[in-house]
Amino acid sequence: MSGQGRDRTAPDEAAEAAAGPGGSGGGDPVGEEGMTRRGALKVIAGGAVLGAAGGVAGACAPDREGSGSPDGVASHTETAHSELSGFDPLPPANPLAAGTPTDPDLLDPVVPWEMVLTDEEVGQVAVLADLIIPADDRSPAASTVGAADFVNEYVSAPGHEWSLDMVRGGLAWLNREARRRFGQPGFADISESRRREICDEICYAPKAAVELSGQARFFDHFRDLVSTAFWTTDEGMRDLGYVGNIPLPSFDGPPPEVLERLGLEGEDLV
């Protein structure tokens, strides 16, 4: 939008509008009941401008000791640099991105840590992920959009050791149950109906047996990881019906029926 024809209000004008009847409302009449809807919008806009100006002034103000030097900012910056001093990323494909943890190259992301799950564990993650989000007539199964790789990357990340222990422990328990109940080597070797039989006992924590509370916590955490992996992909967003982040060829303003419901019909809001 070019902005032509848009009503622009300076902070001083907004302050005058805020004075109520008799103040300048940018040309809009103000009755005894108070300012018009447009006048209120001007006051809000003016306050935002004044608040931003105050924020800039506050950022340049002296510190509490009155020295005027941003010692706090400097100390935080030095700490951040020291924490990242050992990080040596690969050269980013995007020259506009530094490729560091605080400025990642999102066009060509690089994961700077090693994946720790074994191939067998990743395969079991895929099997369990597809049990949670199977393929249907609207979308593919979770494993086909990289859910297993996402889980592996997440649990392998520094600081996520608790997640790694929980996921590995849960996968090991599923394998033991497959051997104990059905005499098969592991969870991936039994039929889907038998997998469901095991998971039905831990898939809803409030109803899980007390002795299976740890396994139920594992399943909750694993389900969260798989859901995050699936519904942040293009396929998952289409499954949700999410239509955001799509460029619009034009913007015609709010629909008339919406304006009418809000009591804004006849207002120039574009």
pLDDT of 25: 43
Give the pLDDT score at 217: 98
Supply the pLDDT for residue 207.
Answer: 95
Query: Is 229 within a domain?
Result: yes
pLDDT value, residue 269:
66
Residue 182 lies in a domain: yes
- In-domain check, residue 208: yes
**Chain centroid, CA 197 distance in Å:** 33
The pLDDT assigned to 126 comes to 98
**Amino acid type, 172:** A
pLDDT of residue 83: 44
State how far the Cα of 21 lies from the Cα of 112, in Å rounded to an integer.
62
Residue type, 59: A
Q: Strand, coil or helix: what is 103?
A: strand
Largest CA distance in the chain: 87
Q: Which residue has the higher pLDDT, 23 or 137?
A: 137
Calculate mean pLDDT across residues 171-192.
Answer: 98
Return the pLDDT at 99: 63
Q: Is residue 142 part of a domain?
A: yes
Is residue 158 one of the residues assigned to a domain? yes
Strand partners, 100: 103
The answer to the question of residue 149 being in a domain is yes
Assess contact for 102 and 84: CB atoms under 8 A. yes
By C-alpha distance, which of 10, 34, 33, 35 is closest to 25?
35
Angle subtended at Cα 167 by Cα 124 and Cα 201, rounded to the nearest 5 degrees:
80
Q: How many CB atoms lie within 10 A of CB 46?
A: 20
Helices 147-156 & 119-132, crossing angle to 10 degrees? 120
Question: Residue 64 above 70 pLDDT?
Answer: no
The pLDDT value given to residue 244: 82
d(CA 178, CA 180): 6
Residue position matching structure tokens 């520094």 = 158
Query: Is-contact 202 212, C-beta < 8 A?
Result: yes
CA pair distance 39, 224, nearest whole angstrom = 46
The reply to whether 56 falls in a domain is: no
pTM of the model: 0.57
Residue 91 pLDDT > 70, yes or no?
Answer: no
- Which single residue is written with the structure tokens 């859901």? 227
Q: Which residue has the higher pLDDT, 159 or 73?
A: 159
pLDDT of residue 141 exceeding 50: yes
- Please determine, for residue 114, whether its predicted confidence score (pLDDT) is greater than 80: yes
Among 47, 41, 44, smallest CA distance to 267 is for: 41
132: containing domain? 119-240
Query: What is the crossing angle of helices 119-132 and 213-231, to 10°?
Result: 80
Whether 157 has a pLDDT exceeding 60, the answer reads yes
Domain membership of residue 3 (yes or no) is: no
- Rounded to a whole number, what is the distance in angstroms from the first to the last CA of the chain? 9
User: In the chain, which residue ranges form alpha helices assigned H by DSSP?
Assistant: 11-18, 37-59, 71-83, 119-132, 147-156, 161-182, 192-199, 213-231, 234-240, 256-262
Q: What is the mean pLDDT of residues 186-191?
A: 98
Number of domains in the chain: 1
Looking at the DSSP bridge assignments, the partners of residue 34 are 31
Quick check: 170 and 222 in contact, CB under 8 A?
Answer: yes
Q: In the predicted model, is pLDDT for residue 12 greater than 70? A: no
Position 89: which residue type? P
- The answer to whether the CB of 114 falls within 8 A of the CB of 211 is no
Give the whole-number percent of the chain exceeding pLDDT 90.
47
Band of residue 253 on the pLDDT scale cut at 50, 70, 90: confident
pLDDT at 232: 94
Q: Give the pLDDT confidence score for residue 195 in this predicted structure.
A: 98
**Rounded mean pLDDT of the chain?**
76
